[in-house]
Amino acid sequence: MNLYIFNPENDLALAFGGINYTPPPAAQRIARELALLPLWYAREGEETTICSAEPVPDDFRHSLEPLGLAVSTVAFKQIGELPFDRIEVWGWNLALAHRLHQAGVDNRLLPSPEQCNHLRRLAHRRLATEAGRYLASHIDYPMPPLPVELHTPDEVQAFTEQSDRKVLKAPWSGSGRGLYWNLYGYDTSLAQWSNGVLQKQGVLMGEPFYEKERDWAMEFYSDGTRVTFAGYSSFLTDNHGAYKENRLTTDHRLHKELSAAVGPHIVTAVREALASFFTERVAPVYTGYLGVDMMTYLAPDGTTRLHPFVEINLRMNMGVVARRIADRFVAPGCEGHYRIDYFPRPGTLYRDHLERLHQHPARIVDGRFAGGYFALTPVLPDSQYRACIEFDAR
């Protein structure tokens, strides 16, 4: 039996670095309300239990039946009482491993403190710089400049006062968080933000601003020995770079669209080179999924180019979730969107949920979605977060 834990605060825990990390209230809420998300990416055909503090509503259980799914849950405090064979988490960090150890989980199922610290070092944005350097040495293609490491306020000021626009990134952050879009030079707001990151994390990564055309990702899987390609991802972000949604379509279509934008030989070369890089650099110490966020952007000469090392997520990620849903649960010929919604006012999300259920109920044919709207996690009257899929009306 396998245990799945959705811990979306992983990047914040990595930034903290210690065993006594307490997620902020918003992170605790999203973890609680989307706790059942692993249901959609768990390995098919295996006995699976999901860690959840809340009972599963009957209407949600019934909604799963046409898909051939059932859900089994366990509270965190009871984890140590069950004989699990494997523990699958959103991402490993020292604090989570420590909590699981205290809960009575067999240490053989947990990474050691040394392994956690090694993974933390690998999860630093510096890994994207290494990947960029590797790609530049193996592929004949005009790669973007490598990120610059900034260690002091003076270095940050000198970098951001250059004539072109810049983006600053906290070293342990992901999914569009920990970014500062520097469009106006070094001002009080930037100084306060950058000084805070430097005090907590010791360094900032500085990069040029790109005229982005579209967000992409390549997903990979490490079995502990070798890293292999696991699929493409096409996603949307808001104006601040925060994740909004993924497309649900075939891997073949995404490959075709990306190849049309930058050339099939470049897509293949990047995919193969990254798999080789991760096999050397990551596989010896990490088992699980990882994703490489990319973008197509408009170069100064007017051509569309690929930035193939925007961000590396050394953990499960929304692109893999979307890929698994599209491959396993979407009917042939159908395309839709997978998204995470946030409604700050309690009650608003529940009303939206009921309205969508009424206007666009899910159509499920032979255990696969063929249209409509479906909530992937329970939506209650006081919910603020939702994972859902929706298909355009036909």
pLDDT tens-digit map of 321-363: 999 999 999 999 999 999 999 999 989 999 999 999 999 999 9
pLDDT at 22: 95
Q: How far is 111 from 98, CA to CA, in rounded Å?
A: 10
Pairs from 378-382 (Cβ < 8 Å, separation ≥ 24)? 378/33, 378/36, 378/54, 378/56, 378/57, 378/60, 379/349, 379/350, 379/353, 380/57, 380/350, 381/346, 381/347, 381/350, 382/346, 382/347, 382/350
- Mean pLDDT (the chain) is 95
Q: What DSSP letter does each residue of 114-177 carry, written as one string?
A: HHHHHHHHHHSTHHHHHHHHHHHHHS-S-PPPPPEEE-SHHHHHHHHTSSS-EEEE-SS--TT-
Q: Is the pLDDT of residue 255 over 60?
A: yes
Rounded to 10 degrees, the C-alpha dihedral 41/368/294/133 comes to 50
Q: Is the pLDDT of residue 182 over 90?
A: no
Q: Is the pLDDT of residue 183 over 80?
A: no
Q: Is the pLDDT of residue 234 over 70?
A: yes
pLDDT tens-digit map of 290-306: 999 999 999 999 999 99
**Beta-carbon neighbour count of residue 121 at 10 Å?**
12
pLDDT at 175: 64
* Mean pLDDT, range 231-237, rounded to an integer: 95
The three-class DSSP label of residue 271 is: helix
Residue pair 94/18 in contact (Cβ under 8 Å)? The answer is yes
pLDDT at 173: 83
* Mean pLDDT, range 23-39, rounded to an integer: 96
